[in-house]
Structure 1
Amino acid sequence: MRCSLTTFFTLGLAVVSLAAPTVSPYNVHEKRNAIPIGWSHTRRHESAATLPLRIALKQSNIESIDEYLYDVSHPESANYGKHWTAGEISRKFSPSEESISTVRDWLVENGLASERIRVSPTKGWINVDVTVEEAERLMNTEYNVYTHVSGQEHVACEAYRLPEHISPHVDFVLPSVNFDVKLKRRSGSQPKPVGGIGQPGAGITPKTTGSVSQTVTELEQCDEYITPVCLRALYDLEYEPVATDKNSFGVVEYTPQAYLQTDLQMFAMNFSTDLIGKEPVMVSIDGGYAQTEYQGFDYNGESDLDLQYGMSLVTGSQNVTLYQTGDMVEGASFNNFLDAIDGSYCTFEGGDNYTVDSQYPDPYGGGYEGPEDCGTVTPAYVISTSYGYNEADLTPFYTARQCAEYAKLGLMGVTILYSSGDYGVAGNDDVCLNPDGSQTTTGMIFNPTFPGTCPYVTSVGATMVKPNATVYQVQPEMACMDVIYSGGGFSNYFAMPSYQMTAVDYYLENYPPNYPSDIWNSTGMSRALPDISANGANYVVAVDGEFELVYGTSCSSPVSGAIFTMINDARLAAGKSTIGFINPTIYSAGFAGAFNDITEGSNPGCGTEGYNATIGWDPVTGLGTPNFTMLLENWLALP
């Protein structure tokens, strides 16, 4: 399976580069090319100041993780569906004793007493408090203080270097080049941005054109109003689950995003009567709860949408788990959620990357004071997330480490879905890349989203019913070009996985994008997205006591998740495994035609018309929208 977590594509704007060989045995390990907007260099950091240095160790066998995943995920494999246990995962990928001892010896040889060096319980990190002078000597770098326009300060370096014999054992070091800083709360009545995810208007968020002013007559108006009956008709989803006690479907929300039970019941009474009296199974992660202090579309729109449609399509007989992640003060990131569903992903002293990921107990006070949730939550068989970063928001090492975790979940039989974004070839908030790696609304370089670019998740784009079309037509949908544009394109960090090669090569050969190679990753060797799509326009959603029209790939992910959950139901009822990581299967020849090919529309952005929807896979709608009947038949035919 051709995919490497350490293979990145640069377009001349990478954040990691290798230095030319010098007399020194040190090589550049990470490098940043630009200071983010809103920050400015203030001064050199004081040499006697203390830095909590955290060294992320390379995981054992990680270079083979795609092969292991492919072995249980490809329909032609003899081990298809033979998923691993969490214990098997932990034993296979824990950093080796060689990595631990090599890095520890290096620190000791450089004058750090062994009692200062701590190894995390999971053996994933080595932690040591050092002075700035010691850190600069260890990594041949300079630490500076940067100041945000808000007045907050941050410590970082432009680049750091590691000895040649140490670098193969280290993923990344913190603090270093990473600038994804959580801004501390300011005074005021509204919750303030911390890591971006879940905050109003940040990242991938649904859009609305306002309230619905007339009675919706269901199937006759699906080009104007999408309801559950429209989706069932579009995707041939006629199925009553029979193995609900064995099955599971999870939807992830990030506080302050929260659903209102009154909205769910309002929706149920109008469109899904089997949900009357039902509510999701709430699982609180790191103090998460369905807050009601702040209401309105910006706070309730996402979660209301995800649950109303996700729960409707799996019917009231199938419980749906709501993973409410992060408290109102610190919030949370994807890593905080991953910590909770896989204890091996946690780190010593509530870690991960403290510049991106929230720390619990709240180190600043006033927030959740309980212990960080690590391995406390059982992952559902299908997990849908309608949030996302821009790939360029994060360093390649950070994204690679997280991407490997999605592969581990796939090995355990979990299907991970992420929305592909709502701004076409541009990133969230319609920002594009500049040659120096910065992101602005005036940038011209295509800006893909993450985690959608991770080859171990399924990225979901958006379609819409064509104006004046009906659900009874042979192909009633096109790429979504109303209010939002389906996110899609090519990663600047991750290599193309082998399961995608045939489909993407066909697209590039027959429909080559007519753009200069310096504004998109034209190498033909990078991970492409999305993988599939589903309707993302004109959803009728109950929000704060009234129905609103909602748009976004935020709609597409939970709908797809519900469809795959019903396929799991049928397989579990037949005594078979869950479908797990679906990408090798859906791209395989045996599944040709199991998705409705979308051939109209495009995804504009960055001053261009973006890519075009074409015959076959395309970087607008992927393989197309699901045909439940065909998918079910094909998956039931597998072991």
Structure 2
Amino acid sequence: MPHNPMTSSWVKQGKPSEAQNISLIVGLKVEQENLAALEKFFWEVSNPKHEKYGQYKNNAELAEMLAVPAVRVNLVKEYFEKAGAIAEVNVHYDAIKVNMRASLAEKALNTEIYWFSHMNAKDTMIMRASSAYHLPRDIEEHVTIVGELLQFPRIAAPKVAEAVSTGNVSSGWSTGCGTSCGTTFVTPKILSERYGFPYTVSNQKAANGNTMAVAEFQTQYYKQTDIDSFNSACGTTVSVDTLIGKNFNTAGVEAELDIEYMAAVAPSVPLTVINNVQYSLLDWVNQISALDILVHSVSYGNDEAQQTSTSYMTQCNTAFMKAGAKGISILFASGDQGVCGREGCGLFGTGAFHPDFPAGSPYITAVGGTDFVTKSVVGAEQAWSSGGGGFSDTFDIPSYQASAVAGYLANPSADLPPSNLWTSTGRAYPDVAALGGTVNYYCVATGGRFGGVAGTSASSPVVAGIFALLNGLRLNANAPAMGFLNPFIYENCGSFQDVTVGSNPDSGRYGFTAVSGWDPATGCGTPSYGALAAKAMAAYTK
């Protein structure tokens, strides 16, 4: 799908300089029977009821399963090398990362490449093709997609409160961060009280091999001085143990939110920050599927309709399955525009819903957003009105959630939106939720000050940190990591704290209503660490 200036938030600028390089992921064709074997294995090792649960494969074994012919790999690799690229084949032999001058890429792909800037973040620049690309026929038959040439990411920064609030609120709200976080902001202490996890490193038992990561894209960097300020105020021990990619000493609120809260929830688990300069989901997922980091939180996505093509999403899904087959858990924020997505629900708010990808992928865990029902009272939660949720227009309902979704659709309390606005047979999301709304913002140290931040960008690292702690319990008992989480989540939906109030219309007229049990506003609900810990251990000892 070439760039459409009428609907895109990205604006075409000038051509790259003669010396400017571009990096692209070239997906190689995998025979259908081998993809089917990968998917079958993925479901088996992810299902707590299956005899192969937790019996993951390593990179070499996955490469053997995919069995991409060497002649195919070499033919495509040599084509791009002759065109002037440095070409690197991934460990599974199903993708090639090429780095070459943009002018040479134009010739190799028979297209034109331009810089594009985002209308809401003009300092954010990406290179993309302005028209469709074409490969020679003898090469094209071996390639599924050249990733990121036509795909434009959603830039949706978290909602930021201007200043720390110190107004009068209900008694009993103690942030644990002194005066730095005022009296209304969510902090690690508040999250621990609500979700029941032990949030100090002295109360957590580290496990050998336990790891977690956050993904950041392009200009999202972090300042160590901000992390130090957060630790000093809140008594946390947040640290970045490993950096993959670059970091500049500038404050990105998204990055610092991710780091401060994932590491505050799970300080006993080493944290890796993966920075992808290209804004490339495909590059990132191919990168992490080759690594052995067990839990990943990502605040990235776009409307399904805004993705390059179904083949692009399918290529991402294959990489998600490879990660799951290795025992890796991937959690994505569900989005901050309710059912409407980036494209919106039309002038009068009655237009079709726009589901998110990757949140709508059947092969990842999507995390929605909630608010406290009563401001500054740790207790019952309600659906955040802007929390992403709904039904995919591309992917069918997977078996792990079929019963839960059927229960929702049959529930009179759901008060379903008009059926012509959404696809009731599609993969439904989110799977779970956590605080992320604007009733009580998260307290974040960023840019030398403390302020409030909201969004499912906050929800995802919190839930990911909790599952990293559950991995630690399993690893310390010589059990495998939890891997792809959704079969476990839906089998144990009752172990989450049910959210039965609110809906997610955002700016539209309609949304999905939170009801008893699973719903497409808050999933199975928000974490209850004690209950989940018991179920996580029981799942492997069955």
Range of TM-score over shorter length? 0.7 to 0.9
Aligned ranges 1:405-420 → 2 under 5 Å: 405-420=319-334
What is the DSSP-based 3-state SS (H/G/I as helix, E as strand, rest coil) of the residue aligned with 1:487? coil
Change (3 A) 1:385 1:230: same
| Counterpart code for 2:244 | S
Change (3 A) 1:134 1:567: closer
What is the DSSP-based 3-state SS (H/G/I as helix, E as strand, rest coil) of the residue aligned with 2:173? helix
Change (3 A) 1:147 1:541: closer
Contact 2:214 2:273 in 1 (8 A): yes
Task: Report the counterpart of residue 518 of structure 1 in structure 2.
Answer: 420
1: CA distance between counterparts of 2:300 and 2:258?
11
| Counterpart code for 1:531 | D
Task: Report the counterpart of residue 83 of structure 1 in structure 2.
Answer: 56
Residue 229 of structure 2 is aligned to residue 229 of structure 1: no
Contact 2:27 2:315 in 1 (8 A): no
Offset of residue 66 of structure 1: 2.8
2: CA distance between counterparts of 1:249 and 1:149?
31
Task: Report the counterpart of residue 491 of structure 1 in structure 2.
Answer: 392
What do residues 492-541 of structure 1 show as CA deviations (whole Å, max 9, x unaligned)? 2222211111111111122566444432123x2x1111010011132111
Aligned ranges 1:129-208 → 2 under 5 Å: 154-157=129-132, 171-172=144-145, 179-180=150-151, 196=153, 203-208=155-160
Runs of 5+ consecutive residues of structure 2 not aligned to the other structure: 13-22, 119-126, 176-182
Offset of residue 68 of structure 1: 0.9
Residue 240 of structure 2 is aligned to residue 280 of structure 1: yes
Contact 2:230 2:236 in 1 (8 A): no
What is the DSSP-based 3-state SS (H/G/I as helix, E as strand, rest coil) of the residue aligned with 1:211? coil
Change (3 A) 1:68 1:465: same
2: CA distance between counterparts of 1:153 and 1:501?
38
Offset of residue 441 of structure 1: 9.9
Runs of 5+ consecutive residues of structure 1 not aligned to the other structure: 1-14, 16-30, 42-51, 105-111, 137-142, 182-195, 197-201, 344-377, 435-439
2: CA distance between counterparts of 1:246 and 1:40?
44
What do residues 185-220 of structure 1 show as CA deviations (whole Å, max 9, x unaligned)? xxxxxxxxxxx4xxxxx5332111211142999952
In the alignment of these two chains, the number of paired residues is 495
1:289 paired residue among 247, 252, 271: 247
Change (3 A) 1:380 1:162: same
Contact 1:73 1:584 in 2 (8 A): yes
Change (3 A) 1:209 1:135: closer
Change (3 A) 1:144 1:334: closer
Change (3 A) 1:92 1:135: same
1: CA distance between counterparts of 2:449 and 2:166?
12
Residue 534 of structure 2 is aligned to residue 576 of structure 1: no
Offset of residue 289 of structure 1: 1.0
Task: Report the counterpart of residue 382 of structure 1 in structure 2.
Answer: 295
| Counterpart code for 1:463 | T
Task: Report the counterpart of residue 17 of structure 2 in structure 1.
Answer: none
| Counterpart code for 1:238 | P
1: CA distance between counterparts of 2:47 and 2:489?
9
| Counterpart code for 1:520 | W
Aligned ranges 1:27-176 → 2 under 5 Å: 36-37=7-8, 56-60=27-31, 61-96=34-69, 121=89, 124=94, 154-157=129-132, 171-172=144-145
2: CA distance between counterparts of 1:570 and 1:131?
48
TM-score by length of 1: 0.68
Change (3 A) 1:170 1:228: same
The alignment yields a C-alpha RMSD, in angstroms, of 4.1
Task: Report the counterpart of residue 264 of structure 2 in structure 1.
Answer: 312
2: CA distance between counterparts of 1:148 and 1:547?
32
What is the DSSP-based 3-state SS (H/G/I as helix, E as strand, rest coil) of the residue aligned with 1:528? strand
Task: Report the counterpart of residue 446 of structure 2 in structure 1.
Answer: 543
Change (3 A) 1:302 1:74: same
Change (3 A) 1:528 1:338: same
Offset of residue 625 of structure 1: 0.4
Task: Report the counterpart of residue 164 of structure 2 in structure 1.
Answer: 212
Contact 2:170 2:377 in 1 (8 A): no
Offset of residue 550 of structure 1: 1.2
Task: Report the counterpart of residue 614 of structure 1 in structure 2.
Answer: 515
| Counterpart code for 1:393 | Q
What do residues 361-384 of structure 1 show as CA deviations (whole Å, max 9, x unaligned)? xxxxxxxxxxxxxxxxx3421111
What is the DSSP-based 3-state SS (H/G/I as helix, E as strand, rest coil) of the residue aligned with 2:420? coil
2: CA distance between counterparts of 1:53 and 1:229?
42
2: CA distance between counterparts of 1:542 and 1:131?
41
Task: Report the counterpart of residue 463 of structure 1 in structure 2.
Answer: 370
Residue 366 of structure 2 is aligned to residue 393 of structure 1: no
Contact 1:325 1:337 in 2 (8 A): yes
Task: Report the counterpart of residue 272 of structure 2 in structure 1.
Answer: 321
Task: Report the counterpart of residue 357 of structure 1 in structure 2.
Answer: none
Q: Percent identity?
A: 31
Offset of residue 55 of structure 1: 7.3
Offset of residue 65 of structure 1: 3.0
Offset of residue 470 of structure 1: 3.0
Change (3 A) 1:149 1:313: closer
Contact 2:416 2:513 in 1 (8 A): no
2: CA distance between counterparts of 1:38 and 1:415?
31
Change (3 A) 1:251 1:466: same
| Counterpart code for 2:54 | G
Contact 2:195 2:526 in 1 (8 A): yes
Task: Report the counterpart of residue 468 of structure 2 in structure 1.
Answer: 565
Higher helix share: 2
What is the DSSP-based 3-state SS (H/G/I as helix, E as strand, rest coil) of the residue aligned with 1:554? helix
1: CA distance between counterparts of 2:83 and 2:466?
52
What do residues 319-355 of structure 1 show as CA deviations (whole Å, max 9, x unaligned)? 32222332xxxx4322232343345xxxxxxxxxxxx
TM-score by length of 2: 0.79
What is the DSSP-based 3-state SS (H/G/I as helix, E as strand, rest coil) of the residue aligned with 1:410? helix
2: CA distance between counterparts of 1:581 and 1:463?
23
What do residues 218-240 of structure 1 show as CA deviations (whole Å, max 9, x unaligned)? 95267932111111111111373
Contact 2:214 2:272 in 1 (8 A): yes
| Counterpart code for 1:619 | P
Task: Report the counterpart of residue 451 of structure 1 in structure 2.
Answer: 358
1: CA distance between counterparts of 2:326 and 2:54?
9
1:263 paired residue among 209, 226, 230: 226
Task: Report the counterpart of residue 178 of structure 2 in structure 1.
Answer: none
Contact 1:418 1:451 in 2 (8 A): yes
Residue 338 of structure 2 is aligned to residue 402 of structure 1: no
Query: Between Structure 1 and Structure 2, whose CA radius of gyration is higher?
Result: 1
What is the DSSP-based 3-state SS (H/G/I as helix, E as strand, rest coil) of the residue aligned with 1:500? helix
| Counterpart code for 1:451 | P
Change (3 A) 1:441 1:325: farther
1: CA distance between counterparts of 2:518 and 2:136?
41
